[in-house]
Amino acid sequence: MIIVKTPQVVQNAVDDFIRQHFRNTSQRNHATNYLTGLLVGDNKTIAGR
């Protein structure tokens, strides 16, 4: 699956919470991408199951 745009729920979380806790854009982008992957990805475990 190709994600073209950050889901609105993730963008809201970034605006309300994540932006306060990460100092630079690179850190915020990483957290945004990670959260997006958790929400839309089929594999939600570290074990890959």
Q: Is the pLDDT of residue 12 over 90?
A: yes
- Segment 3-11 shows an average pLDDT of 89
- Segment 20-44 shows an average pLDDT of 88
Q: Is the pLDDT of residue 25 over 80?
A: yes
CA dist 30 and 22 (Å) reads: 10
pLDDT band at 49 (very low <50, low <70, confident <90, very high): low
Q: Which of 8, 12, 37, 32 is nearest to 22 (CA)?
A: 32
Element (H, E) at 38: helix 25-40
Would you call 45 helix, strand, or coil by DSSP?
coil
Look at residue 18 in the predicted model and tell me its pLDDT.
87
